[in-house]
Amino acid sequence: MTFDALAGVLLIPVVAAALLAALPGYRLTARINVAAALLTFATAVSMFFVEPRFGPFLLVDDLNKVFIVLTTLVGFTTAMFSASYIGHEIEIGRLTPRFVRFYHAMYQILMFAMNLALVANNIGLMWVAIEMATLTTVLMVGIYRTHEALEAAWKYFILGSVGIGLALFGTILVYMAAQPVVGEGLDAMVWTALMRRAASFDPELLDAAFVFLLLGYGTKVGLAPLHAWLPDAHAEGPTPISAVLSGLLLNVALYAVLRFKILLAINPGAIAPGPLMVTMGLISCLLGAFMLYRRRDIKRMFAYSSIEHMGIIVFAFGMGGPLANFAGLLHMTMHSLTKSAIFFAVGHVTQVKGTQKIAEIGGLTVTHPVLGWALVLGVVAIAGLPPLGIFMSEFLVVTSTFAREPWLAALLGLGILIALGGLFLRLNGIAFGEPRGSTAPAQASYAPMFAHLAVVLVAGVYLPPTLVAGFENVARLLG
């Protein structure tokens, strides 16, 4: 075998990172960045056609294929957006060429770390990969070196390390639970071995482990009450990083939680992980929704919207069952695509207007019709209005819950409605009303954001049967 997709999704970003760290010149490196991301995406897609072989360190199954393809796709489109965004940052002198080189290399290392976390067949390796992804994003968030950026990076670093520490403790507990059954050594940390034998693990140890893992990785998912880093990190870093954080990194942490949830589900004596996840998801959703009001910073507002949506997704997976899991998966995909599209639009808007303050941005549909309407479309989608994809997935989450726990469904619906109100309240001033701020024409790359929005629109109307079958299969795996 000369072609191995599994090695591909890991090696391409590493090689690209080394190349980008060495090469000068922004135009060339931005293109290499896009090309590498495209190549990684193509390799990831090939996994559906050629089943890669895997061993004790790496793993590919139906569950992580979905995550890998989504990650590499948004990674690719964000690289395209990033090329025009960074070009503008260099023009206005916010970033020097030296930092751009660093930025591009870090971007690829982040891609590598996320892919590694997704394909790791070892709970220790997965932990290392997620830690690596955290550290690279910490560096990227602080890249502008302003007061705010440093504070955001510091907060993110401290809270992220606490989360990572708790997650490691949980990982050690899982090993402790597995060790008497699987035996000492590497095998007791390998997913495939753990899954086979999980039924005979000590249930109490697994319970304790899951609490630590949920809190630890939950910090990275942005679940309340450990979400405090998320709005700052989104608001102060470069906008492509906000898009990657919201669209991808949160999902990767969620993937880790889901894996451990499956492990617990196999063990008959362990607690049901569902209620814990439902509670945290619901709190995050309501908190995120209420926090949408009184936001003055546009990127911060959409960061709170991410907390709300991650809450909904965790809620759906916590409810469990084929329908709720299907809805959760669909919602996760739609949220990634929509939120990154919104951040693409917001990135260009803040560059044109030269500010992130909502009060200083107004009448976008008049001054910059294309950007303005793209943002309107994105917000309509993220608020969950028909006929877009998020409406579908939110509808599925609420209805599948309603059949089982009407009160929880009512609370969740309330959260969604509150969020809708908050988003439209702000959108009204930003997109319509009196034009405020600069009216200089935007040099934007519209392709990525409209591609995302088109997918979301189509998904709201028609889901291809192969996709539905694939998601249903994964939903069954999730139990």
Partner 1 sequence: MHGLAFDVAHMLAGSLVLVSFMLLYQDRLYALLNIFALHALVLAASVAWQASVQNAPHLFVTAGIALIFKAIIIPTALHRIIVQLGIHRQIENVVGVGLTMLLGIGLVALSMVVMLRVTSGADPLAREDLAFALSVVLLGLLMMVTRRNAVSQVIGFMSLENGLVLAATGAKGMPLVVEISIAFSVLIAFVIIGIFLFRIRERFDTVDVQALDRFRGERQ
Query: What does the binding site for partner 1 look like in residue numbers (CB under 8 A)?
Result: 122, 124-125, 127-128, 131, 135, 138-139, 142, 145, 147-148, 150-154, 157-158, 161-162, 164-166, 168-169, 171-173, 175-176, 179-180, 184-186, 188-189, 202, 204-205, 207-208, 232, 235-236, 295-297, 300, 357
Q: What angle do CA 208, 210, 213 make, to 5 degrees?
A: 115
What is the smallest separation between the CB atom of 294 and partner 1, expressed in angstroms?
9
Tokens (6 digits) for 339? 């939120």
- Closer Cβ to partner 1, 147 or 469, answer by number: 147
* Alpha carbons 282 and 8: distance in angstroms, whole number: 38
**Smallest distance from partner 1 to CB 100, Å:** 18
Closer CB to partner 1, 302 or 317, in the complex? 302
- Minimum CB–partner distance for residue 185 and partner 1 (Å): 6
8 Å CB contact between 453 and 374: yes
Task: Rank residues 161 and 438 by Cβ distance to partner 1 and give the closer one.
Answer: 161
- Asked if 79 and 107 count as a contact pair (C-beta separation under 8 A), the reply is yes
Alpha helix locations (H) across 92-146? 97-119, 123-141
Nearest distance from C-beta of residue 186 to partner 1, angstroms: 5
What residues contact residue 207 under an 8 Å CB cut-off, 6+ apart?
264, 270, 271
77/115 with CB nearer partner 1: 115
Rounded CA-CA distance 86/106 in Å is 14
- Nearest approach in angstroms of CB 33 to partner 1 is 23
Closest distance to partner 1 from the beta carbon of 125 (Å): 7
Q: Tell me the two tokens of residue 378.
A: 């994105």
**Considering the complex, what minimum distance in angstroms separates the CB of residue 231 from partner 1?**
8
Residue 287 contacts residue 307 (beta carbons within 8 Å): yes
> Would you put residue 368 in left (φ > 0), alpha (ψ -120 to 50) or beta?
beta
- Closer to partner 1 by CB, 51 or 147: give it: 147
Cβ–Cβ under 8 Å, residues 388 and 333: no
Kindly tell me which of 158 and 403 has the beta carbon lying closer to partner 1.
Answer: 158
* Shorter beta-carbon distance to partner 1: residue 41 or 157: 157
DSSP letter (8 states) at residue 384: T
Nearer to partner 1, 263 or 409 (CB): 263
Tell me whether residue 21 or residue 376 sits nearer to partner 1 (CB atom). 21
Q: How far is the CB of 269 from partner 1 (least distance, A)?
A: 12
8 A C-beta contact, residue 265 and residue 479: yes
- Say which residues have a Cβ less than 8 Å from residue 218's Cβ, sequence separation at least 6: 163, 226, 253, 257, 280, 314
Rounded to whole angstroms, how far apart are CA atoms 202 and 210? 13
Q: What is the dihedral of CA 57, 58, 63, 64, to 10 degrees?
A: 120
CB-wise, 228 or 411, nearer to partner 1? 228
CB of 159 to partner 1, least distance (A): 10
- List phi, psi (to 5°) of 190: -95, 125
Output the smallest distance, CB 293 to partner 1, in A: 13
Nearest to 78, CA basis, from 215, 249, 287, 195: 249
**Angle value at C-alpha 117, between 114 and 119, nearest 5 degrees:** 110
